[in-house]
Structures are given as C-alpha cells and as structure tokens.
Amino acid sequence: MPNSFENTIAALETQFGEAMRIVRENGDLDQIERVGDLIILKEKLIEALIDELCDAEDTTFENPDEIIINGNAEGPATPYPSNITVSDLDGAVRHVTVTLYGLTHTWPDDLDILLVGPQGQSVVLMSDAGGSTNINNVTLEFDDNAADFLPDSSGIVSGTYKPTNYEGVEVFPAPAPGPPYGSTLSVFNGTDPNGTWSLYVFDDSAFDNGSIAEGWDLTITTNPCVGVQEPAPGVDQVEPDDINSAVFHLESELSRAFQVILDAGNPNQIERFLKLLINKELLLLMIVEEIDENGNGNGNGGNGDECPCKFRLGIQGNSAPTTVFVSQPSQPNSSFTGTINVSAEQCFTGARMCNPSVDQFNINFGDNGTTINFTQGRRTLISCVDGTEANLLGTAQATGNLLSGDFNVSIEFTDNQNGTGTWVINATSFDESTTFFTTFTAPVSARTFIGDCSENVGPN
C-alpha cells in the first residue's frame, strides 16, 4: 500500500507544480481551483496513511430536544444555545459533521446558525441561504467534504452541504461569542472534543418563524493515538509521535489560506499557501518513512546510508536574473529583483553508485543593496523523477544583510530538456515567522545531472 500511495502522491505533486507555475507566471486565479482539487485528492491519501498508523473512531452525540425559532420579532431561538455534552473521547478531533433534524422555516434567508466547540472555535453552519422559499421538515447535514453549498435563493431540500454563509459577517447576540467565525468545520481539527458544544440559532428578521423539531447531533471523528496539541511547532521540532497532530494543524491552516485566496482573489496568499504545503509535505514524507522503517516500503533517501537517486545542479555562468519575495514579522512583504546562483550536489558520484556523504547546497542572491544567502545546506529528504526533476528538502543557515538564522529550505528543479531548467525555491525560518520565495528559468551548467544510483556519469 505505501508504494501505491507514494506513486499517486508523486503524480499529484507533478500536477500541483504545473498548476502553481501557471498561477505564478500568468496570474491565472482560475488555476487555484484546480490546485484545490489536487490538494483534496492528496488529503484523502494522507488520511489513509494516518489510518495505517492509527485507526480513527467515529462517535455520535445528540440533543433531540426541539429548538423553537421565534418569529414575532428578530431574536434568538429557544433554547439559546442548544447544547451537547461530549465526554470520554480519546485523542484529538480529526473531523466533525453536524446534522439538523426537522428544520422548518417560512423565510430561511433569515436564519443564522453558529456552532461553537468546547475550546472556543466556531463555524457558521448556515446564514442567508435559501431565500424566501419555505422549507418544511428537512434534514440538513453539514460536512466539509460535501459536494455543494446550500443554495442562495432557491429552495433548500434535505441533503449534505458544506457550511454556507452568503452575506458576510453576522454578529450573534450574547452569550454567543463575537466574530470572527470560521467558515469550515476543520476549525475544530486537532482540538480536545470533550466538553460542551453549543448551537446558536438566530432569526435576524421579524414575522417569520420555524423550528428544528427533532434537535441535532454531532458526529466526531477522533484519532485515539494522537494527543491534543497546541498549534504545531516548526517542522524541525516534530517528533514521530507528534506527526499526526502537526498534520492536522497544518490541514486547518491550508484550508484557511486557500479560502482566503478564493474569497478575496488575492495572489499574494499563494506564497503562504506554498509554505504551508511544503511543511505538510515534509510531515507526510516522515509518515511514509515511519511506515518504511517497519518494513512496509522503500527508503526515502534521508541523511543516512541510502540515497534514492543522485543529482548535481547548477546555473550556467553561476548567475541568473530573478525576483525574490520576502515576508518578515511586523514588516510589509517585500520583493527584490537581482541575480541568483544556486548549486546543489546530493549523493553524487560518477561511479555506478550513490555516495550518501555528498550532501551540500547553497543559494546566493543579490541586488544593488540587498544580499540573501542560504549556506551550509544539508538535506533532509531528496527525490528524483525520470531524470528530469530533482527535489530537495533540507536546512540551511541564512546570512547576508537581510535574513539570518536557521531555515527549512525546499528546492524543486525541472530540466526543460532544452538547455534550461526551472527552479522553485522556498525557505521558512525555524520559527515560521519569515519566508523567502522565488522561481525562475535559466540556462543550466554543463555539469548538471539527475539520475539513478546505477548510472555511470563519467569523470566528476
């Protein structure tokens, strides 16, 4: 099974890279949706891998009491809130669904429904949906994995829907918490499920009324061998027992970043999106490696005795034009246009073998007044595809007059088979406060090589 997963993930990774290239080069926001579809597919593979390590458990809790939606005046339903107490669940939340039974209302566009978890996270399940078309005794399930949102102005029928909010921020009266509210149920992922879950139902206009006649329930999926965690530390600090929790946290961050891109059409969010994805990919590879150590797969080429491939990468003339993008705490995002040199040599030897002791990469950028260097680079993981793609995840020391400290670095290189290569470089400080990103195409050095350990390259 792990081999099958790895092959599928690699294929999706290639598609993801192509979509992101188009987004970056052409500013084509339509491609973001395609990227999202690829990520959803990868999420399913990640979930399956986690299932290999620890079985997830689904538990349903219910409150069958009727909720009366008062229509004589604008205001909260009775009771407000309706509560469900969850207890005796082990591990962190992995997935939540909510079902409302027997929902009736004469003007559903007036309905605002908020779910608040025991740790304070919240999500608007529905707001300003369904227009003026009466709904009568429908059952609505809310699930992030649903195919559709509730309709905006047409009639609502029983079914499974994504959380839906059509008219921006609603403010629910106390004792409900104030905004901001989440837009997906994944806001609960990684939290402790035990405690009181509260459903706040509010009618924001007078004269129409309704009810949730048979109450509501929660289905909570937990992973019993994953403890509840605070937001995940830097990738370099993740221990094997914490991998799943860190993936859950990054899952939530990815969903939030992607939603911002879709909602605001903001291409600047792509940089954050890429950074989060890289961190998550590293965690995923660590999970696969953990399976491999138990004898279920192939080595992933960490900094040990095995190398999955070998490569030597360089830029012709040791210089290429590019623009780099940098984000730092308490400072506006910055871009600099100048020249860059990148070199990487991993597991390389001219003989029919790989040499694990060969492990170096360096990045040097400068414009008229700014220098950014990543030196003493050492790999964490490498991979190669068909002798034309080389990927490296590692750590390096930032020097120069702008950045400093230790960084996680990702280098993706594609040989375009026409004497040029395309580079995608991301770096994130260990505390995740600072990021560096650039992509460019440049002539490759004559010494550039990507291949299998069995290949003879000739003299070094």
More confident residue, 299 or 286: 286
**pLDDT surpasses 80 at 452:** yes
| 457 secondary structure, DSSP code | -
**pLDDT surpasses 90 at 341:** yes
- Residues contacting residue 295 through CB under 8 Å, at least 6 positions apart: none
What mean pLDDT is predicted for residues 430-455? 90
Tokens of 407: 């960084």
Can you tell me the distance from the alpha carbon of 281 to that of 115, in angstroms, rounded to the nearest whole number?
31
Residue from 327, 387, 391, 337 nearest 361 by CA:
391
What mean pLDDT is predicted for residues 365-381? 91
Global pTM reads: 0.46
More confident residue, 173 or 280: 173
- What does pLDDT average to over the chain? 78
Can you tell me the distance from the alpha carbon of 274 to that of 277, in angstroms, rounded to the nearest whole number?
5
pLDDT tens digits for range 128-187: 898 888 899 999 999 988 888 999 888 899 999 999 988 766 788 999 998 888 888 988
- Residue 300: alpha-carbon gap to chain centroid: 22
- What residues form DSSP beta bridges with 69? 210
The share of the chain scoring above pLDDT 90, in percent, equals 39
**pLDDT surpasses 90 at 62:** yes
Can you tell me the distance from the alpha carbon of 207 to that of 380, in angstroms, rounded to the nearest whole number?
63
Query: pLDDT band for position 114 (50/70/90)?
Result: very high
DSSP letters for 141-171: EE-TT-S-BPPSSSPP-SEEEB-EESSS---
Give the containing element (helix H, strand E) for 223: strand 216-223
**pLDDT surpasses 70 at 318:** yes
